Structure 1
């Protein structure tokens, strides 16, 4: 019986090499891409992290995850191949071979890197310290350009889920197509309007209430309704979905948040505050059955005690829940009837 000699697979190098990069996908991302559930992939630019040694300037974002793109050089010869048909000689049948269309000297790796949008938002979103914040007039050199959350997200080097989480933590709100970052003083004033309105209307914030009931009161105090709703989103209970006209606040969220914004407010006006005064103010701004939870353990990592019985907000202790930019507006927006219920809340 005769045998046919196996001469292997024909191989050739194309003259015009294409410029390609191989992208190495993590198993989790590969599974997500190949699943039936559609996932959005966005490639964004990113500034290098000063705390790391990486020079990466691009990130790949899914709906809820951010991957740092890193280029890795390879000492191996890596070719991208595609099937090709060799030109037949006279009397011979064309054969199928492989052609090298590109040589990749480097590959792109995707490294999972949880991203916090908080620093980006603090640098990008204009600070809201009162009604006068929205009255800035444009100039020839610096025209006023409105940017809503969607426009800011397109530039944010993070995923949609991470962006929304940071916006909720910071109570970023939007009015007339412009996103705003409220100062701690503004958040403290909004909360005082909420707690005073709840006292006046006999509303139990922890058991559920009509948002419209308090929205009108907060608006009369000079605060945007969108800011009020941002605070509701930030403090609403996890087991109750925030509806158009119904909410219930979580004690676990509200108690430390109120303490933090009050402490940050003091930090804007003075270097330190007496611990006893701060604790009393904190307790006075809480529901009666929440006051026993106003303890320093709830603010762990967010304060320092310089001595003399004083306490100060410590910016190095962790990410703050509000902008630390000094507020231009004081407490003059609070209505006089707030004082009427001050003693009742103690």
Structure 2
């Protein structure tokens, strides 16, 4: 039996990626920059209706540059969703700022109730930014969260690393906040082998993008010699990586369709198992990209999350726990945490991410579901 991945790169059947890469080779623009980088940024702006975009080496770099663009300094406070991957929070520490973690709610993402509690608690020392995440492609209550941030005049960074293609009321995630973060890591819904992009959504987005472009190319001043007045970073995306991304963008909608089909297959096969529920989908006028289909097991279930992960592993099938919340991580143990109803911890303790690879066929899905259903007998 073949190995089944959790989520792996899926190049287009049409070979779009090869065309863009070949052009880069033919013109000798393999590094550092070139046509593909500029066109990839342009195409993402057109697809998502952002104001501007800068292609970077990874999504983490994009978060770092968003924080730097806002002007985050040492000892500034940044509110950050707790239930997320550490890359959402790590860049806060790069600028020696202080993360305050916010609990989730039934959306699996930042709780507006907890966010309001945080603003009230820190009303005399307001945060310089808020980082919300659209976990596993599930849309946060982004309009409500944006309204709260606007009320306090605090910039919103939208981590849409996992939710490219997800919409709320027809508007793409990553374009509600002042800044949006996209990731093209190898396991994402489309990939450039790595890489990320920072979206700018305010009227002065083009101006901000120019400054981020400057920082991300080592902050070299316009002089004949190498002149540096600020600290810079080697964060720019390469022309080859961008070429892969351009090809992948052409099949984004197709990949979303397949991810949703995978969710629906699991829903049909597993939803009647006692104590097992699938993650919510399409809440609050959203359309979810279903990047990873995730399940929850409550006290009625005869098995625990680890039991399922081990059973799948023994059959050469990948799965994964839900992200361990940041407020539970040893590295952030001294940081403040604003609770709603311990939702973040509960989702982590009860959750399993099921294989959601878009190259899976029906036989693969049958094999996965047979193993899981067999554990209820």
- TM-score under structure 1 length normalisation: 0.24
Larger Rg belongs to: 1
Q: Which has the higher strand share?
A: 1
Higher relative contact order (CA 8 A, sep 6+): 2
